[in-house]
Every structure is written in structure tokens, then in C-alpha cells.
Amino acid sequence: QEVTVEVLEHLEHLALVDFRDAEGVERLRKAIRFADLLQEVNTEGVEPMDSVLEDRCLYLREDDVTEGNCTKELLKNAREKVEEYFVAPPGNIPLLKLEEQETFLQGS
């Protein structure tokens, strides 16, 4: 199974990861081949495990107010703020397509 340009673009868009160059893409291919080793194990009739915590009890907390009221501290991390609001761009900024990115990098 090939890692096509469409798949790469899709992944970069979903995860905001930049595979950048041929070396990055090759590393991705190697990672997929490594994970594919899992297919060799016969898991018929075995429930998938999605957490090592599966036997643990899920702790239930009482409905008390114990946190919050730390606006100043939280806003310390913000590059920009307006009157105790975080500031973000107006919407999600769409990523450039792969070809556009290459020409952009070549130009710089």
C-alpha cells in the first residue's frame, strides 16, 4: 500500500504535521511498515485492548467546586489577549496544498 500524495496532504491537514521532505515521508513509510507487523498476530476472538487501565476502577469525583479562578495565570501563556479573552485568528486558516507549499519554499 502506497503512501500517496493525497494521503499525505490529508494527514498533514488533519494532524497539522509537516512531513516537509523526502526523509520525513520515508520515516512515515517505515513507521507504517513497523506497525503492520501487528497484522501477523492472530487476534481472532480476542477483544481489542485500548488501555492498560482496563481493569482499573474509574474514579468518580464528588460534584464540588475545587478549581478555577486563575484567570491571570492562564492568560500568562497567551501571546495576545483582549480584556481577559484569549485572541485567536478569525477562523481555521486552510493549509496550502503540497504543490503550493513546494513553490512557496523554493521561492524563499
Partner 1 sequence: WVPVVGLEVHAQISSNSKLFSGSQVQFAAPPNSLVSFFDASLPGTLPVLNRRCVEAAVMTGLALNCSINKKSLFDRKHYFYADLPAGYQITQQRVPIAVNGTLSYSLYKDNKMSQMVTKTVRIKQIQLEQDSGKSLHDDTRSQTLVDLNRAGVGLMEVVMEPDMCCGEEAAAAVRELQLILQTLGSSQAVMAEGQLRVDANVSVHHRGEPYGVRTEVKNINSIRFLAKAVDYEIERQIEELENGGTILNETRAFDSKLGCTVPMRDKEGKQDYRFMPEPNLPPLILYDAKSLPANINHQQVVNIDWIHERLPDLPSVRRAKLVELYGILPEHSFTLVNEDGLTEFFENVVNQTQMKPKKVIGWILKDLLSYLKQHSLTVKESPVSSVLLADLLNLLEKKEISSTAAKQVLAELWKGEGKSPLEIVKEKKLELMQDQKELEQICQEVIDGQENEVMAIKAGNLKVLNKLIGLVQRKTQGRSNPVVVKQLLEKKLS
Residues forming the site for partner 1 (CB under 8 A): 10, 14, 16, 50-51, 53-71, 74-75, 77, 82-92, 94
CA atoms within 13 Å, Cβ hemisphere of 59: 3
CB of 99 to partner 1, least distance (A): 19
CB of 55 to partner 1, least distance (A): 8
CB of 49 to partner 1, least distance (A): 9
Is the Cβ of residue 45 or residue 94 nearer to partner 1 in the bound state? Answer: 94
Is the Cβ of residue 78 or residue 105 nearer to partner 1 in the bound state? Answer: 78
Here the cell at position 46 is: 480476542
* C-beta of residue 17 within 8 angstroms of C-beta of residue 42: no
Is the Cβ of residue 10 or residue 27 nearer to partner 1 in the bound state? Answer: 10
- C-alpha–C-alpha distance, residues 16 and 99, integer Å: 17
